Structure 1
């Protein structure tokens, strides 16, 4: 095994690099008191982010961690735990934001017709403005069977849209679209962005001429 390479998990993804595991000895100063601490570089980077988040200097943050964990007597372990707890809290907060509930809220707040499209080109959710657009241009019944009869096609391939969004750092992609039933069709234009959610992969599609 080569220690200089990243360590892969069971899915073949890099969990950490050798650089993350390298220990650095640094001196933290607080009110004239110098304290030497040895931590892995990944923890130093996280500790810096935590200090910025709390608007503290590194010295002030280390003091705070030491005071709140004076029972253990192991400062480096307390720092690592504080870093991991903060990262877990950050992840939980992002998890609440990156949810289908948030996607529904974004669509509901948009005055233009909009919908969320899955990677399999299935409309998962939509806002009232999009529902009104469909009713206006494609008079259909309100039954579930009638709604299933609706068909959507895009001028661009969905997989290509995801690729282009990733390559262009999320800049919206414009595409034409057609939605219709067996007898009627409506053609329009969309601005498409990637939804802020990890799974399932979704596209947020906003009709620009509805």
Structure 2
């Protein structure tokens, strides 16, 4: 079984973009009291910040259980000298981190490369700074067919790629229309030669930074 290696016009990985830290509102840090009644009628009064109640709610929905059942489960694991509210905070964060790990694994650059390599049509990964970060063999075959210049390294090094729609605008449009694609024109130039065609753009399923997958539909 042949595993395709990532193809990239960028020899060095781009520096990771810095994500701004979230702003914390005053109402978010104020503990909220709730009375939780278990199946046996046992009543527990719990004070937690809103974000933890939100986390427990998402855990309950994912596990198809009530928040009361979740609190009862947590209480059953609590040592005699333990604090139920603290244990619920730890459980909520641990569940969120486990979900984050799973999402980041699925949305990794390695998996994204596999999606691009599996496409039978010429396909690229386009960064927000207008660079082709990954491409597949059909894309390279298209270039060799239409722009027969030198070896692969020379071809990709001098490649100029642009789309008729501003990349920032394309990303904004696709973010506002989740599940949709955007068709636009493109142009490729190498030296004095050039070609035009149509490309279908979709948001790349990656958490690292905003990128577009481009499926060449006509050239």
Both structures adopt the same fold (TM-score exceeding 0.5): yes
Offset, 1:72: 4.2
Distance 1:41 1:147, change over 3 A: closer
1:166-209 per-residue CA deviation (whole Å, 9 max, x = no partner) reads 34446322210011322432211111122122334321111112
Q: In the alignment, is the contact (CA less than 8 A) between 1:141 and 1:147 conserved in 2? A: no
Aligned to 2:126: 117
The reply on whether 1:23 has 2:31 as its aligned counterpart is yes
Q: Unaligned stretches of 5+ in structure 2? A: 1-18
CA distance in 2, matches of 1:109, 1:97: 16
1:80-124 per-residue CA deviation (whole Å, 9 max, x = no partner) reads 110011111111122212221121011122222110011221111
- TM-score, length-normalised on structure 1? 0.84
Distance 1:37 1:127, change over 3 A: same
Q: Unaligned stretches of 5+ in structure 1? A: 1-10
Name which structure has the greater RCO, CA cutoff 8 Å, separation 6+.
2
Aligned to 1:151: 160
Count residues in correspondence. Answer: 200
The reply on whether 1:84 has 2:112 as its aligned counterpart is no
The reply on whether 1:50 has 2:59 as its aligned counterpart is yes
Offset, 1:135: 2.1
Distance 1:158 1:12, change over 3 A: closer
Q: In the alignment, is the contact (CA less than 8 A) between 2:104 and 2:207 conserved in 1? A: no
After superposition, the CA RMSD in angstroms is 2.1
Aligned to 1:132: 141
Aligned to 1:104: 113
The reply on whether 1:178 has 2:176 as its aligned counterpart is no
- TM-score, length-normalised on structure 2? 0.81
CA distance in 2, matches of 1:143, 1:87: 44
Aligned to 1:14: 22
